[in-house]
């Protein structure tokens, strides 16, 4: 099941990256789609188990995911605005991604793990 999620994200993510990269709000949409595909990855214990869809599709969990998507949108909207005020060593990159992008990815990954922990702890009716 997780292999299908991987293939779906690569297809959808690739199309979105090509179509939306230069448009206003494109990066935010791509980040929200990637974040949404990341949650089943984490919930499946990173490729080892089946995805617990019964826990992921309840109303309270979906509401929490929508809140997390709002946070992702806010982070990815404000990050480019903050970038010019940061030191050059933090935002420049050679062959590897800049430290700024690594930190941004780390924040989004930490948010995904927090959401996963909350999903697994929630007792939805």
Q: Does the predicted TM-score (pTM) go above 0.75?
A: no
Q: What is the CA radius of gyration of the chain?
A: 16
Print pLDDT tens along the chain (125 aa): 666 767 777 787 778 777 776 788 788 888 888 888 787 777 776 656 666 666 677 777 788 888 888 999 999 889 888 888 988 888 887 777 788 888 888 898 898 888 888 877 765 44
C-beta separation of 39 from 111 below 8 A: no
pLDDT of residue 70: 92
* Backbone φ, ψ for residue 107 (5° rounding): -65, -45
């Amino acid at each position: 099941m997780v292999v299908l999620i991987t293939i779906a994200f690569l297809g959808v993510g690739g199309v979105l990256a090509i179509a939306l990269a230069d448009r206003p709000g494109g990066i935010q949409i791509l980040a929200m789609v990637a974040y949404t595909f990341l949650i089943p990855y984490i919930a499946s214990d990173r490729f080892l188990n089946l995805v617990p869809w019964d826990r992921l599709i309840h109303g309270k969990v979906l509401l929490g995911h929508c809140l997390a998507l709002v946070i992702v949108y806010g982070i990815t909207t404000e990050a480019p605005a903050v970038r010019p005020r940061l030191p050059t060593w933090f935002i420049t990159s050679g062959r590897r991604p800049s430290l700024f992008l690594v930190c941004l990815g780390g924040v989004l990954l930490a948010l995904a793990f927090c959401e996963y922990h909350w999903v697994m702890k929630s007792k939805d009716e």
